[in-house]
Chains A and B, each alone.
Chain A
Amino acid sequence: MLSYNFEYYKPKSIKEAIEQYQTSKSQDKKPLYYGGGTEILTLGRLNYIYTDAIIDLKGIPECKEFGFQNNELVIGSTLSLSVFEENKVFPLLTNTSKEVADYSSRNSITIGGNICGQIFYREAVLPFLLSDSTVIIAGPSGVKKFLINEIFNKELRLDEGEFLVQIGTEKEYLKAPYLSVKKRKQWDTGYPLLTVAALKKDGIIRFAFSGVCPYPFRSIQMEKILNDKKLSYKDRVLASFEYLPSPILNDIEGSDGYRLFVLENTLSNILSYLGGEELE
């Protein structure tokens, strides 16, 4: 039960959604776009999130698309994570998203909600950072396309009134060699310690991280060192730590030191698995 009520709107088009957002704003209200609602409902119950008006995006056809257009896999932002568990067209996405929360929660959590949420982990963004995906953003200034690596910096940089409509990933990335490793301190479900996703393209292994810092990220500087064949795996990993963003998470799931210890081993294993040749 939430301690407050809100208005509810379910627009049938992008234009209608944006207009409703602006109408609510002009009435000095705080509207929120709504996908699966898991974060709004759980944090709202604790009064960490407040809204006067919910604008449910699940009625917008573009936000529900899933399929190939030209050379791209197009994924609507309101598709639930469980969709990718059944449909393995993008195996890295399947493997990364199937570790988020649990199965029935993944029926509610949407891909857009996970990427745009407040939770540290937001693992669903990792495959898209690695595959240089594009995002379609709609807002008062129109519908625009961006490279995700240009607009995702700690979070998806949305302006007031904007929302994520779709993500596009070129076919060549869908079948590239990959590995997604999620480490928990204990048990097979629950919040992770960290997740590392990796994808090999043109002989170079790309890396994206969740649970290391209070936001997901991909680091080109770390990738350069992690692919430096003049160094051993261990030296590469340790040298790459020089470029880790800060702060390293230090919370109930694990201390910063423990996270780095686990990260070191995880990266070495990924290098070994994906065939980053090691200097002996």
Chain B
Amino acid sequence: MNRYPTNQRFTINLEINKEWYEIDILASDILLDVLRDKIGLTGAKPGCLNGDCGACTVIVNNQPIKSCLMLAIEAIDTEILTIEGLKDTPIQRAFVEHFAFQCGYCTSGFILICQALLLNDNNPSPEKIKTWLSSNICRCTGYKEIEESIRSVINNIKNQSIK
């Protein structure tokens, strides 16, 4: 097999957590590595690097995306939200209040997929919650507390709308 090392590099601008970053990348750089190594946003975690575990989940244009399955260059002209951009959100507080983490490695990914679900549907069905959250894996198996967290946020939204 012929292999042609390419020197092609790109200087791109990415909008992450409402801030702009100018970065120099290779086309083959995945978004996860760029977030962590070039920008210093280490909340997205490298897990399986195969699209299975969801530890690297970020929100791109309001949708949950596994950042190990996306090239950084594909993220041009998108709005990216990482766990660092989610300060004091109800879902973060709910994870703390419901003890929805143990080792914590999967937590940022789970919080972001919950946040993405709430952005798209603030009253999701139990089936929809299960479908979305099945994208992520918690090897400490803290699923019950994670589900309780998102349900508490949904209930709060419902209660506020009733008031």
A residues near B (Cβ < 8 Å) are 1-2, 4-8, 27-30, 36-38, 41-42, 44-45, 50, 52, 54, 56, 58, 82, 98, 101-105, 107-108, 188-189
Contacts and interface: CB of A to CB of B under 8 A. Distances in A.
Given A41-B69, A105-B51, A5 B64 contact: no
Contact of A4 (B3, B10, B33, B113): B3
Residue among A30, A52, A104 with the highest chain B CB neighbour number at 10 A: A104
Interface residues of B, number: 36
A24 B42 CA distance: 36
B8 A107 contact: no
A44 B30 CA distance: 12
Given A5-B27, A44-B28, A188-B130, 6 more contacts: A5-B5, A5-B26, A6-B27, A82-B63, A104-B136, A105-B135
A188 B51 CA distance: 17
B70 A1 contact: no
A97 B47 CA distance: 25
Nearest to A102: B135
Given A1-B33, A56-B74, A103 B6 contact: no
B163 to A, nearest CB: 30
Contact of A50 (B1, B27, B66): B1
B65 interface: yes
Interface string B49-83: 11100100100000111101111011000000000
B2 interface: yes
B3 A108 contact: no
25 contacts: A1-B33, A1-B49, A2-B28, A4-B3, A5-B27, A6-B6, A7-B6, A8-B71, A37-B69, A41-B69, A41-B71, A42-B51, A45-B50, A82-B63, A103-B131, A103-B134, A104-B57, A104-B65, A104-B135, A104-B136, A105-B66, A108-B51, A108-B65, A188-B130, A188-B134
Nearest to A108: B69
A30 B69 CA distance: 21
Contacts of B27: 5-8, 54
A29 B58 CA distance: 33
Interface in B114-163: 130-132, 134-136
Contact of B135 (A7, A37, A103): A103
Contact of B66 (A1, A30, A56, A104): A104
